[in-house]
A and B are shown apart, each in its own frame.
Chain A
Amino acid sequence: MSQALGAPATEAPSRVGMSQRSGGILFASFALGLALLAAVLAGWAPLGFSIVTVFLFAGPHNWYEFRYFLSRMPVRWGPRRTFYLLGIGGAVALAGLFALATLVGRFAEFSTEAWQIFSSTWNTLLLAWLAALIWLRGREGKGQRDLTWVWAVALALAAVAWRFPAQWDLALVYLHPLVALCFLQRELRRHRPGWLPAYYGVLALVPLLVGLLWWRLAATPDLPGEDALSLRIAQHAGAGVMGGVSTHFLVATHTFLEMLHYGAWLVAIPLVTYRTLPWRLEGAPLAKPASPWRGVVRVAALAGGAVVLLLWACFLADYPTTRDVYFTLAMLHVLAEFPFLIGTV
């Protein structure tokens, strides 16, 4: 009897483990297929792929990020009040400053040096904000950690941002897509820990794919387009900063990483995190019936959906201008990721 009862008890976890493992392999196969497809398309037609991916996914992925932040934001902040106030306030202030300077700079025709000074100042504020968030995080709870080292690291990075402003900005452009992969790792750890080994395997292949792009494209001639949009895309990917490196490789790599970013936010994170359709907000703490924020959240989600439609319409009307405006305003979502990333460490 004890054996008969014991047998299923020992089999059940192994079945769970098997199903987790096979689920992980399926997930990794899908992710790898997507990454390979993105690398091939980005290498084959970098400009076209960049234009299409930004048009299709830029708006929706912002909405999905907003949806994700809703699911992570508690109704009552409690001891994390200062952290969230600083996180949200800092993200809005820094994004506003960035947009304002871009607007003023266009009309006032800032010199390159003036831009560098602004960029370095803004990056210093960004680092101070991030350091403050990490430091506050260390002071939470009973097991407080002394994270004062973060100030020294932030100051050292500020020195780099002042010394190499263009390279620093470019590093942020390339690092931003990878932040989504960190969020995906967090969500897998929370909801599907059995998938993590397969996910790490796929992650290890990302540098290999970038290496393949380098091998195939680094020595190729620059991209041929001389129109404003082609030049703008190449400049965004680092043309002019990475002298001597083919813009074909730069644009392909940037577009490939952006596609991973979009894939993580639009497919992988919703698949792993939500047990319902993403536009059903009931699962988010702020949207629950008892939450005083319920109405605001619903209006914000609807407004976000409207902005996505508006963005598509504007892309159809004037793609280059809309792309410029989008990448200026999208700084808010880039910054908003940090408090949530730091908050889940």
Chain B
Amino acid sequence: MRTIIGSNALRSVFATLVSAALLPALALANRAPPPESPAPIAESVPLEVALKDGVPLRIEIPRGLLPKEAREKRAMPFGLGEFTTFASGLFVSLAIAASGIWLARRLGGFRSRPVSNRATGTIAAIVLVAGVAVAAALANAPAPPGLKVAAPADPDKLTVQISIVERGDKVVLHASPAELTKIFKPASAAAPSNAPAK
């Protein structure tokens, strides 16, 4: 009896599936760059204000400026955060491989209708194109956000999203000019009572 692996058509399916299973590894090529060597914490840190219309209010803090414990959390045993991405990719690969095995078993059951090499080639091409497309699309995914602050309950309050970024040596406040005015409005409104009389 001819085994499943012995069939030329199914051998091609297996080869394709193995290739497809390796494709998600390409997406890892876009992983975040390794953090820069941590600089000593400065006692005063410059705050840069980047004004641009339409940008959401956001503060970016370089990881190097964080306290030692917070920096070490990121640099724990081969990056736990990266491990989840690795595990996810591994399971995607295994899922594709398992689908292939299931498909091979299903097709192997229909002995009266053997699969042609042409059909196998078509399936292989579809799987390859889909794999490359997925890998390419993921490669363009944005970096995961850092710390998120919940939406404000009070409409008078402003929500500032704080992101921990890997690079840089100063804290950056991204805001639109309108929001910046909103931030400093209460201070200017309160000023007359506290400011020395001119």
A residues neighboring B (CB under 8 Å): 111, 113-114, 116-117, 120, 124, 146, 148-149, 151-153, 155-156, 158-160, 162-163, 165, 221-224, 239-240, 243-247
Contacts and interface: CB of A to CB of B under 8 A. Distances in A.
Contacts of A116: 80, 84
Given A159-B91, A240-B150, A246-B151, 18 more contacts: A111-B76, A113-B73, A113-B80, A117-B80, A146-B106, A149-B102, A152-B102, A156-B91, A156-B92, A159-B89, A160-B88, A162-B88, A163-B84, A221-B153, A222-B151, A223-B153, A224-B153, A243-B150
A162 B148 contact: no
A162 B93 CA distance: 13
Contacts of B80: 111, 113-114, 116-117
A116 B85 CA distance: 12
Contacts of B148: 240, 243
B94 A155 contact: yes
30 contacts: A111-B76, A111-B80, A116-B84, A117-B83, A120-B84, A146-B102, A146-B109, A152-B98, A152-B102, A153-B95, A155-B92, A155-B95, A156-B95, A158-B95, A159-B88, A159-B90, A159-B92, A159-B95, A162-B85, A162-B87, A165-B84, A221-B153, A222-B151, A222-B152, A222-B153, A239-B150, A243-B148, A244-B151, A245-B151, A246-B151
Contacts of B117: none
Contacts of A158: 91, 95
Contacts of A153: 95
B101 interface: yes
A246 to B, nearest CB: 7
Contacts of B101: 148
B99 interface: yes
A146 B94 contact: no
B3 to A, nearest CB: 18
B71 interface: no
A76 to B, nearest CB: 33
Contacts of A221: 152-155
Interface in B101-133: 101-102, 105-106, 109
Given A117-B80, A162-B84, A221-B153, A155 B105 contact: no
A315 to B, nearest CB: 28
Contacts of B92: 155-156, 159
B177 interface: no
Given A222-B153, A244-B151, A113 B95 contact: no
A260 to B, nearest CB: 27
Contacts of B73: 111, 113
A243 B81 CA distance: 20
Nearest to A222: B153
Contacts of B96: 152
B91 A155 contact: yes
A160 B88 CA distance: 7
A168 to B, nearest CB: 11
A221 B109 CA distance: 58
Contact of A162 (B91, B150, B151): B91
Nearest to B81: A113
